[in-house]
Chains A and B, each alone.
Chain A
Amino acid sequence: MNSLALSFELAACVAAILLLIGTPVAYWLAYTHWRGKFLLESIVALPLVLPPTVLGFYALLAMGPRGPLGKLWMALFGHGLAFTFSGLVLASVVYSFPFGVQPLIASFEAVDRKLLEASAVLGSGKWQTFLRVILPLSLPGVVTAGVLSFAHTLGEFGVVLMVGGDLAGVTRTASIDIYNRVQTLEYGEANHLALLLLAIAFGVLCLVYAVNRRVWTPAWTRWSAK
């Protein structure tokens, strides 16, 4: 399998998992009145400021044969977690967590509270209100969260290097591949891949900014019930 396809597969898995986990976390953070909320917010934002090698290092320890995750994985599936694709997905989910969660929090918080109260008075419980009001009104945020965590995973290097090693077809992603080729002086090949990643990153950011400028979204998302 070539390294770019592997990167795409990894990024798609991470984005999907982050939307699934990130949505309830973001919902809770957006609506809780708990005083200790800042603790969880700090934890969510931690990967933004942590060197990838630090995060990768602890991920590697946890996933190793004597680490808690590694042991658990061994008991469940009969093989280790470090230097596997699953391990890479897990570490990347942690690393891209803020990119998946923060846009969701922002868009949930932007939904007018009165709409939620109106929904409650009209007979809808929390779950119904989420599906019928919050989610449709947060669509740009959901798109942003998905696209940003996809793009961020596509470009990661340090974490992948630490927990993935460099196994061709298993954990050798595009960014690692570029590094390898530079090391072996295959500048042409490296340039080829690097240019591709650059174009993808640019395209993805264009998409995010366009969605948030409401270039393609319908008129109603621009209107808030004030």
Chain B
Amino acid sequence: MDTMEREVNSPTLVARIQKKRRADASFILDVSVEAPPGITILFGSSGAGKSTLLDCLSGLVRPDAGKIVVGESVLFDSALRIDIPPQKRRIAYVFQSLALFPHLSVEQNIEYGLRDIPDQDRRSRIEEILQAFGVETLRKRKPAQISGGERQRTALARSLVTEPSLLLLDEPLTGLDAELKAAIVEDLRAWNEAKCIPILYVTHSREEVDALGERVIAIDNGRVLSHGAPMEVLDAPRRKRLAQAAGFENLLDATVLDLREHDGVMRLRLGEGACEIEVPLARACAGDRVQVAIRAGDILLASERPRGLSARNVIEGRMTSLEQRGTMCVARVDCGVTFVVHVTPGAVRTLELAEEQPVWLVLKTHSCHLVD
């Protein structure tokens, strides 16, 4: 199939959904999403409305209003009173809990959705998917007798063997180590090369976004915050909640001191202290209270005052704590406000970093992001 043909035949998900949560009247999911073939990531903190959105798309939950279309088929339209039941939507949905049937073997689980398919066709489809997801040797085992990763593969295979026109994944790979996760995602991508359906992948993990990302839709408190390529959406966070979710460890209160329009920067004073930094120009006036988000990994740490740098922000401070977490060291540096900085254990040894020691932090202007 060439690219042109693919684009014509490939279904795109277009949905507009409004849904009140029954238990919490103040929460309203109100979103418009569009997902072309390929992986689209639905990113947001827990409680943002991601799972509610997937439940609505799959037909398990009925939206209060809206319209859901996949390719040519209208699955839900509140104006036309169309509401196709989940059984007939041809949407595959893999839950976080996977929901494998514990009384059925791997093979029987995969066979579950193929009841109406003629025998011969059913056999060949099962064999094909067992191989594609590398679970053919486990076919007689029960879900309790296989590993976590194997369960995740089985759940994917069970959903995809029905040849759905849309795949919904609700954090199906949480709890797997990175290598296993990457292998499963690779199989999923390979499978979708041929089938070319939209895949909505829900996660609140920044790492998964980087590993999978083609497109991201960021959701918070029931609304779409922004959408686009992962870099655009998550690396320049416009909102505080998104900044926290996207892994910006430093979220600091600041006051605008002055704007330098011709340099494209403005100066901020951090907290109540004397510490000043330069950040990219944004719509603000001198005296405004703002917040600035900085990744712990974007900050350089020096044991002597650095010189001859292009970076505009060099701040002196004192190391208050240093602890190793996995393959990374987390340093806290007091510069009037406290910064969290990530450094490698190697750097800690080479620089002979220790607590109570004076250090200098180096921040690139464009690593500092103003958030609303």
A residues with a Cβ closer than 8 A to B are 112, 114-115, 117-125, 128, 132-133, 136-137, 219-226
Contacts and interface: CB of A to CB of B under 8 A. Distances in A.
12 contacts: A119-B112, A121-B59, A121-B91, A122-B112, A128-B115, A219-B144, A220-B142, A221-B103, A222-B144, A223-B102, A225-B101, A226-B97
Contacts of B100: 118, 225
A223 B142 contact: yes
A23 B86 CA distance: 25
B115 A123 contact: yes
Given A120-B87, A121-B59, A124-B87, 20 more contacts: A114-B99, A117-B95, A118-B95, A118-B99, A121-B87, A121-B91, A121-B93, A122-B112, A122-B159, A123-B115, A123-B116, A123-B162, A124-B115, A133-B101, A136-B103, A220-B144, A221-B103, A224-B102, A225-B97, A225-B99
Closest 10 CB pairs of A and B: A122-B113, A223-B144, A118-B99, A114-B99, A121-B93, A120-B86, A223-B102, A220-B103, A136-B103, A220-B142
Nearest to A112: B99
B65 interface: no
B269 interface: no
Interface string B92-112: 110101111111000000001
B39 to A, nearest CB: 19
B170 to A, nearest CB: 10
B102 A225 contact: yes
Interface string B48-70: 00000000001110000000000
Interface size class of B (residues with CB under 8 A): 20 to 34
Interface string B111-151: 01101100000000000000000000000001111000000
Interface of B: 58-60, 85-89, 91-93, 95, 97-103, 112-113, 115-116, 142-145, 158-159, 162
Nearest to B151: A225
A121 B60 contact: yes
A121 B86 contact: yes
Contact of A137 (B91, B103, B113, B158): B103
A115 B144 CA distance: 15
Q: Which has the most chain B C-beta neighbours within 10 Å: A115, A221, A225?
A: A225
A96 B220 CA distance: 53
A219 B86 contact: no
A49 to B, nearest CB: 34
Contacts of A219: 142, 144-145
Contact of B60 (A120, A122, A137, A222): A120
Contacts of B88: 123
Nearest to A114: B99
Q: Which has the most chain A C-beta neighbours within 10 Å: B60, B92, B158?
A: B60
Contacts of A226: 97
Contact of A115 (B99, B142, B145, B162): B99
